[in-house]
Amino acid sequence: MNRIVEINNLYYSYNNDFVLENINLEILEGEFWGIIGPNGAGKSTLLKIIVGILKPQKGSIKVFNKEIKYLKDEKKLIGYVPQKPNIEKYLPLKVTEIVALGRRIVNDWKKLSSHDREIIQKLMEELEIEDLANKIYGELSGGQQQKVLIARALAQQPKLLILDEPTIGVDMKTQSKFYSLLRKLKKARISIILVSHDIGIISKEVDKLACLNSKLYLHGCPKDIKIHTALKEVYGEDFLLLTHEEEE
Amino acid sequence: MEILSYAFVQRALLAGMLISIISSVIGIYLIYRGLSFMSAGISHAVFGGLAIGYLLGINITLTSLLFTLLIIWIMPFIVRKSKLKQDIPIGIFYSSSMALGALLLSFHQGYTTDLFSFLFGSILSIKDEDLIITLIFTVILTIFFLRNYWKIIFMIFDQETAEASGINVFKLEGAVLTLTGIAVVLISKLVGIILSSALIIIPAATLVPYIKDMRKLIVYTIFLNLMCIISGLILSYYFNLPTGSTIVIIATLVFLISLFK
């Protein structure tokens, strides 16, 4: 299987405080990775390094088998939904226009074709935001705004999808649809990295789990990781993890 | 109308149309990027460049342009180095440009008529060469914004994701601010250093809260800008008022009225 992300001996610090230390990770094509860890564990920093917003201070990172600094057109294949993005909410942009940005990235900013419009329409239906098509982003609720950002990232039809706590503020019904959409994407051999604090869902949905708190404490298949031990090690607290059976 | 029969008024109207396009596009960009203060800051830098030109005895438009661009280009490095919010270094740096200008002008012995027209503008005495330069710049600016429209929109909307998707935000913003610098120098020649930032910001600020479609916002802001310029020209002609100031006062009145909509 193709390597999509390859991280070796990665270090990153803010004002000499290391938030990432000696990170080594390999993400293969079609793998669905979950990253958990407490606040300030370096999860978002790691994602920002993978998408090329931050430069690694030490170590190397390859995405699609290329050093991150040499990525050009390949960047179009990375869909990214940041945590609490610093968005200009009152820009007079309609929801459709925001989702369409994803297609414009792929098309080198050329005009949208009818095929592009079909993709946008289908995605908006899947995420149940088609009724919001002509609304301005700033007029939407937090959950609706989050769905729009997810749709924009998916509109790129990415090969690597990076999601930093994407379901914050999103209702349970949409979360369930969202995870079923991620399962579909995984089947289509898209690699996914998901950061979430919802340990129950993440350990159920993902193929591989990484427990991060500056250092990578454990990583592997959730079923092989002793989740209680992992949580205690990463969060420094003992947890009681309750799982719920899904009603059909 | 008698006023329209004069060649200098026709030239001023044409200049007004071009300025409306330039200042509207730049104004909307600066407002949404949270950089409204930038245009006032840049106009102060123009003064510094103007004083250098006077002292060295070379073309003041050229020195104003070069000095303004120099300040714009080094500003990101100063912001990064100072670790302060962008408006603080802008305020410090541009006030010092003004101070530098005043200091340098104190060494200048001689006539400074051009200085007065640069400070308060002289749209009615615009020369053909200024008009041609403004026209060429308007074409360049329009082409740049049309070609990069969605990239700029994406950068304004969500800079972090825009950067992740391959847009070189540093270069793109640098290009827009370079165009802003040139625009402020050109507009300053017509309405004055002191008033140029008002013309860039006020018409856009009047409409931004009310128009919910970007294309309409651009078109309506250009129209409002032009209306302020035309009415300012007419009023200043008939009542013998300073044109630049009249235009800005009208724009401010329209802004105040819009608050009660």
* Tens-digit pLDDT profile for residues A146-205: 889 989 999 999 999 999 988 877 778 878 878 888 888 888 889 999 998 877 777 788
Measured between beta carbons, which residues in chain B are less than 8 angstroms from residue A149?
158, 161
**Do A92 and B217 lie within an 8 Å CB cutoff?**
yes
**Do B213 and A92 lie within an 8 Å CB cutoff?**
yes
Measured between beta carbons, which residues in chain A are less than 8 angstroms from residue B217?
92
Q: What's the confidence (pLDDT) of residue A247? A: 45
Query: Which of A73, A91, A110, A132 has the most B C-beta neighbours within 10 Å, making it the best mutation to test the interface with B?
Result: A91
User: Residue B200: is its pLDDT beyond 90?
Assistant: yes
**Do A80 and B214 lie within an 8 Å CB cutoff?**
no
Q: What's the confidence (pLDDT) of residue B22? A: 96
- Return phi, psi of residue A164, to 5°: -100, 100
- 3-state DSSP call for residue B103? helix
**Do A78 and B157 lie within an 8 Å CB cutoff?**
no
Measured between beta carbons, which residues in chain B are less than 8 angstroms from residue A85?
158, 160-161
Q: Which of B73-82, B104-113, B160-169 has the lowest mean pLDDT?
A: B104-113
Q: What's the confidence (pLDDT) of residue A172? A: 81
**Do A75 and B165 lie within an 8 Å CB cutoff?**
yes
Each residue's pLDDT tens digit, B3-30: 778 888 888 899 999 999 999 999 999 9
* A-proximal residues of B, 22-41, CB under 8 Å: 32-33
**Do A101 and B150 lie within an 8 Å CB cutoff?**
yes
Closest by CA position to A89, among listed A142, A25, A132, A133: A142
The beta-carbon neighbor of A82 closest among B153, B160, B212 is: B160
How many CB pairs below 8 A link A and B?
75
Confidence band (pLDDT; 50, 70, 90) for A116?
Answer: very high
CA distance B166 to chain A (A): 6
The beta-carbon neighbor of A91 closest among B32, B161, B166 is: B32
Domains of chain B in sequence order: 2-258 (1.10.3470.10)
Work out the average pLDDT over B93-110: 83
* Residue bearing the bigger pLDDT, B205 or B51: B205
Q: What's the confidence (pLDDT) of residue B80? A: 79
* Residue bearing the bigger pLDDT, A217 or B96: B96
Average pLDDT, chain B: 89
CA distance B146 to chain A (A): 11
Confidence band (pLDDT; 50, 70, 90) for A142?
Answer: confident
User: Residue A230: is its pLDDT beyond 70?
Assistant: no
**Do A86 and B158 lie within an 8 Å CB cutoff?**
yes
User: What is the interface pTM, i.e. ipTM, of the complex?
Assistant: 0.85
Each residue's pLDDT tens digit, B136-151: 999 999 999 999 999 9
CA distances from A66 to A3, A5, A73, A74, B218 (A): 10, 9, 11, 9, 41
Torsion from C-alpha of A185, A188, A193, A195, nearest 10 degrees: 20
User: Residue B109: is its pLDDT beyond 80?
Assistant: no
Each residue's pLDDT tens digit, A60-69: 999 999 998 8
Closest residue on chain A to B217 (Cα): A92
- Segments in chain A forming alpha helices (H): 43-51, 95-106, 114-126, 142-155, 172-187, 199-205, 227-235
User: Looking at this protein, which amino acid is placed at residue B248?
Assistant: V
User: Residue B63: is its pLDDT beyond 80?
Assistant: yes
Closest by CA position to A219, among listed A35, A10, A12: A35
**Do A101 and B157 lie within an 8 Å CB cutoff?**
yes
User: Residue A23: is its pLDDT beyond 60?
Assistant: yes
Q: Which of A85-99, B25-39, B98-112, B173-187 has the lowest mean pLDDT?
A: B98-112
**Do B164 and A87 lie within an 8 Å CB cutoff?**
no
**pTM of the full predicted structure?**
0.87
CA distance B71 to chain A (A): 26
The beta-carbon neighbor of A76 closest among B33, B158, B166 is: B166
Each residue's pLDDT tens digit, B114-134: 677 777 777 888 888 889 999
Measured between beta carbons, which residues in chain B are less than 8 angstroms from residue A150?
none
Q: Which residues of B15-54 are buried (b: 16+ CB within 10 A; e: fewer)?
A: bbbbbbbbbbbbbbbbbbbebbbbbbbbbbbbbbbbbbbb
**Do A91 and B214 lie within an 8 Å CB cutoff?**
yes
Beta carbons of B45 and B97 less than 8 angstroms apart: yes
**Do A73 and B166 lie within an 8 Å CB cutoff?**
yes
Domains of chain A in sequence order: 3-235 (3.40.50.300)
Q: What's the confidence (pLDDT) of residue B172? A: 95
Work out the average pLDDT over B31-38: 89
Find the chain A residues whose C-beta atoms sit closer than 8 A to any C-beta of B: 48, 51-53, 71-73, 75-76, 78, 80-82, 85-88, 90-94, 97-98, 101, 104-105, 109, 136-137, 149, 152-153, 156
Percent helix, strand, coil in chain A, to 5, is 40, 25, 35
DSSP-assigned letter for residue A38: -
Percent of chain A with pLDDT over 70: 88
User: Residue B194: is its pLDDT beyond 80?
Assistant: no
